[in-house]
């Protein structure tokens, strides 16, 4: 089946110059009133928005419509395994906030609301800023996520020839440095600033306060040397560069978060060969035989890294799910949706966890593949900005694989990337 957006099949490109399609608005309103019959007269509402579209090219959602649309967009997110909780999404209506400084202040509030360390709470939150109006430019956020770690490329000194931090964001880091940001080049977990581009094209960089960045030190319940690696990861995964579309109305700036599934950190971010590449380091410290793949040293190291992530988050009181429990919850979500008379769109290649897939219930079935709206979309320009930014000097558009919107890592490269951790702990 060839469904746009599935298995790298391109979806229809967004044209910001087009007016809202009245048919899409009607489809959404019919769904809204069908699932919320107490809301009143659908025909009267349709008549008003038809006039609004004819006059302005778009229309404004009521607050209740916006909340419903955001939650259903999560319900329709085909690459997300955690949709059982879609009704609990906290929707922040910030449509009147347009200035970059004010946007940044609200992003900080978002992170503090989503991750409350003092209460050991992580809750799903979306902050919806101004809707797109045909012919009018919006402020935009470059970052893929609100919290990400820099990749500092060292050309001299003790780390010459290595990347300190996350290699995924090396080009993004270098672009921000062209705008004056320096960061902490020797810190492998150096939080990137927020880059907000105003409607006029001016780029503003903002450092997140420490109080807004909940980080968890990664240790292990039995391998005491794990703490010596100095690992940590942030607790709130807030995707920031996807466009939310509800009833034909687009919201280019609508960052949202849930909470982590452990494998996103332990089997991808910290393990992928083109990310932190920690499996060789851990295997060596464990004394595993890395001379042959038949020893399954990668599997052994991967298991202990994922145990460390889950245990550390539990110790810190930071909510995180394991891939076995979340798989069962997703199947419960499908059953709940079936009882409501709805099909659940899902992409098998993203729903099945990146480790122990066949040991989970989500592996052993097929799914409904469909592009259902309301929805989130990752546009080509937003994807490129999230990976590279836009240089104020010379555009940098090297040939490189693209990122995926609902996971934090793209597929690992064929060869190992020997970054800072690899140089520190490997004999060369």
Handedness of CA 285, 287, 291, 294 (dihedral sign): negative
**What span, in angstroms and rounded, lies between the C-alpha atoms of 402 and 405?**
10
Residues whose CB is less than 8 angstroms from the CB of residue 135 and which lie 6 or more positions away in sequence, other chains included: 17, 57
To which residue do tokens 């499996």 refer? Answer: 279
**What span, in angstroms and rounded, lies between the C-alpha atoms of 274 and 213?**
24
Burial of 185 (0-12, 13-18, 19+ CB in 10 A): middle
**What span, in angstroms and rounded, lies between the C-alpha atoms of 426 and 420?**
10
Taking each continuous run of H as one helix and of E as one strand, the counts in the chain are: 12, 18
To which residue do tokens 């992409």 refer? Answer: 347
Closest CA to 209 of 97, 111, 101: 111
Closest CA to 410 of 194, 224, 264, 207: 264
Given a contact cutoff of 8 angstroms between Cβ atoms, the answer to whether 254 and 384 are in contact is: no
Tokens of 374: 């309301």
Please tell me whether residue 172 adopts helix, strand or coil conformation: helix
**Which residues participate in catalysis according to the annotation?**
80, 83, 259, 264
CA-to-CA separations, 140 to 253, 382, 391, in angstroms, rounded: 6, 9, 16
Beta strands in 363-415 (DSSP E): 375-377
Residues whose CB is less than 8 angstroms from the CB of residue 365 and which lie 6 or more positions away in sequence, other chains included: none
Residues whose CB is less than 8 angstroms from the CB of residue 177 and which lie 6 or more positions away in sequence, other chains included: 183
């Amino acid at each position: 089946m060839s469904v746009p957006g599935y298995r790298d099949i391109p979806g229809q490109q967004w044209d910001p110059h087009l007016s809202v399609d009245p048919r899409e608005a009607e489809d959404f309103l019919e769904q809204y009133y069908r699932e919320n019959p107490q809301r009143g007269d659908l025909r009267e509402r349709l008549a008003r928005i038809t006039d609004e579209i004819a006059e302005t090219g778009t229309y404004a959602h009521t607050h209740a419509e916006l909340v419903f649309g955001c939650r259903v967009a999560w319900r329709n997110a085909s690459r997300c395994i955690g949709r059982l909780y879609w009704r609990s999404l906290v929707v922040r209506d910030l449509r009147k906030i347009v200035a970059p400084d004010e946007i940044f202040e609200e992003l900080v509030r978002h992170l503090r609301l989503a991750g409350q360390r003092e209460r050991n709470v992580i809750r799903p939150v979306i902050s919806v800023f101004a809707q797109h109006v045909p012919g009018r430019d919006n402020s935009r956020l470059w970052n893929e996520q609100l919290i990400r770690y820099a990749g500092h490329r060292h050309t001299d000194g003790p780390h010459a020839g290595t990347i300190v931090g996350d290699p995924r964001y090396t080009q993004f880091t270098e672009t921000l440095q062209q705008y004056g940001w320096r960061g902490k080049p020797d810190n492998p977990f150096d939080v990137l600033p927020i880059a907000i581009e105003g409607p006029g094209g001016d780029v503003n960089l903002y450092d997140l306060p420490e109080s807004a960045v909940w980080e968890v030190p990664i240790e292990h319940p039995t391998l005491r040397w794990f703490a010596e690696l100095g690992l940590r990861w942030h607790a709130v995964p807030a995707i920031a560069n996807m466009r939310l579309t509800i009833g034909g109305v687009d919201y280019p700036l609508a960052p949202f978060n849930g909470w982590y599934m452990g494998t996103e950190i332990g089997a991808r971010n910290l393990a992928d060969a083109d990310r932190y590449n920690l499996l060789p380091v851990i295997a060596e410290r464990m004394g595993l035989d890395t001379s042959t793949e038949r020893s399954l040293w990668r599997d052994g190291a991967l298991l202990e890294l994922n145990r460390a992530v889950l245990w550390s988050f539990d110790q810190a009181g930071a909510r995180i799910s394991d891939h076995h429990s979340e798989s069962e919850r997703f199947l419960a979500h499908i059953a709940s949706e079936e009882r409501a008379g709805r099909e659940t769109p899902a992409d098998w290649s993203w729903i099945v966890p990146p480790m122990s897939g066949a040991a989970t219930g989500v592996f052993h079935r097929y799914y409904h593949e469909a592009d259902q709206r309301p929805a989130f979309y990752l546009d080509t320009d937003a994807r490129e900005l999230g990976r590279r930014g836009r240089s104020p000097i010379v555009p940098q558009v090297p040939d490189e694989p693209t990122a995926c919107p609902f996971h934090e890592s793209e597929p690992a490269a064929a060869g190992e990337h020997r970054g800072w951790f690899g140089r520190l702990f490997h004999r060369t």
